[in-house]
Structure 1
Amino acid sequence: MANEAGKTGRSGWETAVSRTMPYPGSRVWEFLVGDGVEIWLGPGVELPRERGAGYETEHGTTGEIRSYSEDRVRLTWRPTDWDHDSLLELEVADLGKRSTLKIRQERLADVAEKAEQRAYWKQVVERVEAALAER
């Protein structure tokens, strides 16, 4: 039997969204890890950069940094109403005058959570692009 779309044997359900934007990668990345962190991670938190560092947003979402580089961050992500951690990755691919923002989330509980998170991350990408356009 074939795997259902978005389900892997190793990490359960996963989803991903991406968007190419008319901004250099450095501009997108600096926004994501600076003023724009609230858009994707949540209000009231600064993004830690050290592996193993924990965070908690004003809304109670918690997690831990797994890796951090100049164009990618991997962290655990757990809202207050979940009974499990997911693994979240944000990456910016620099294409010169443009860049692609990629968001991938693994270890989702089921197909419903996958659909919910895909819709959420699509909104996040739209909000990031709109905020960059205003700057």
Structure 2
Amino acid sequence: MKKQVGQTKDVGIQFGIRKTVSISAELVWNFLFSDKGVEIWLGKLKHELEFKKEFETKKGITGFVRVFKPKSHIRLNWKLKDWPNMSTVQLRVIEKQEKTTIAIHQEKLLNAEQRSKMKEYWVKIIKKIDTELKKVKC
């Protein structure tokens, strides 16, 4: 049987995207976890995002914050409203010299259709983040 794109041995299907910007990791992190930043990459929350707590967005994305390492990464269970499954999303901020890479990784996707949908979704999100970070930099 041929392996699907994004197929892993242990965590189903995955997708990842990265964007490197010429902005300090501290500024990137602070933006991503500001109200505006969270709204872009996660959605408008019904309650504040908290470590080891469930969350829900106004658009019905639900999950649980599993790991929160300030100025490094967040890892959470993540489920779209109409999905039968829970996936895992990790957002990481990686500083290298004068640049910062924003890495978004999603695993435990059910199939190629979910992967394709999430690829489209995260490409739009990373573009919005990049656009907003350019405003922060100025």
Measured against the shorter chain, the TM-score band is: over 0.9
Tell me if structure 1 keeps the 8 A contact 2:4–2:112. Answer: no
Equivalent pairs, count = 133
Tell me if structure 2 keeps the 8 A contact 1:22–1:99. Answer: yes
TM-score w.r.t. length of structure 2: 0.90
TM-score w.r.t. length of structure 1: 0.92
RMSD over aligned CA atoms reads 1.3
What is the percent sequence identity of the aligned residues? 31
| Structure 1 unaligned spans of 5+ | none
Which runs of structure 2 are paired with 1:27-42 in the superposition (5 Å)? 27-35=27-35, 36-42=37-43
Which runs of structure 2 are paired with 1:94-113 in the superposition (5 Å)? 94-113=95-114
In the alignment, which residue of structure 2 is the partner of 1:58? 58
* Runs of 4+, deviation exceeding 4 Å: none
Tell me if structure 2 keeps the 8 A contact 1:25–1:93. Answer: yes
* Deviation readout 1:68-104 (Å, 9 max, x if unpaired): 1021000011111111100000001012321000000
* Deviation readout 1:94-132 (Å, 9 max, x if unpaired): 123210000000011100110110111111111001011
1:96 and 1:55 mapped to 2: Cα distance?
34
Tell me if structure 2 keeps the 8 A contact 1:25–1:96. Answer: no
